[in-house]
Chains A and B, each alone.
Chain A
Amino acid sequence: GAGVSQTPSNKVTEKGKYVELRCDPISGHTALYWYRQSLGQGPEFLIYFQGTGAADDSGLPNDRFFAVRPEGSVSTLKIQRTERGDSAVYLCASSVSPASGGQETQYFGPGTRLLVL
């Protein structure tokens, strides 16, 4: 079956602009995660959804970052007033259910490479 998909694959924007990154999880997966991977680093957790609600947004760096998942499937990560430091690969993952407290495998998408000029 289809894996996690993310669009766009690449995004170039100017400092101060607004961007939206989309994630389409594996069908039937109720849990969805966003991570950010800076150059030379491992992915860092941003936010996790269980269904439509954000169960843990402790990784969002500041209030310029916001994510939604209105129908419990597709999610959009929104970044306002982008800064050069926001340049990174934004990864999305999904899992069947988080009910088992982390035991479920998270399946990752290919990522969106964001470059802020």
Chain B
Amino acid sequence: AQSVTQLDSQVPVFEEAPVELRCNYSSSVSVYLFWYVQYPNQGLQLLLKYLSGSTLVKGINGFEAEFNKSQTSFHLRKPSVHISDTAEYFCAVIWTGGGNKLTFGTGTQLKVEL
């Protein structure tokens, strides 16, 4: 079955430190990949997406992600985090030819500490 895995449920990090949030997916077909952020009591907001082309994708708020087809991964990175980055981060996939529905991972809670 096709699935999305976010192994880290929580990631604590100090302010100004780098962070990587991991995402892996299982698929035998091409995919579109997304990272969404959910701030407390707010809706999901798109950070970035990979559709095709360059495997390094840059998004909003200084985040970037790299698509690795051989490892079926799409890890999210930020070189220096801020307190305001504290939120829940969701990786999501659309399998091409499988419709337009997003399949989400279980999320990673990023907690930035002083």
Query: CB within 8 Å of B: which residues of A?
Result: 3-4, 31, 33, 35, 40-45, 48, 55-56, 58-59, 91, 93, 95, 98, 101-111
Contacts and interface: CB of A to CB of B under 8 A. Distances in A.
A108 B99 contact: no
B37 to A, nearest CB: 11
Given A91-B44, A101-B96, A43 B49 contact: no
B99 A56 contact: yes
Nearest to B97: A101
B102 interface: yes
Interface string B55-90: 000000000000000000000000000000000001
Interface in B79-114: 90, 92, 94, 96-97, 99-107
Contacts of B99: 48, 55-56, 102
A107 to B, nearest CB: 8
Contact of B46 (A3, A43, A56, A105): A105
Interface of B: 4, 6, 32, 36, 41-46, 49, 51, 90, 92, 94, 96-97, 99-107
A48 B104 contact: no
A108 B41 CA distance: 13
A43 B44 contact: yes
B104 A43 contact: yes
A95 B6 CA distance: 25
Contacts of A110: 41-43
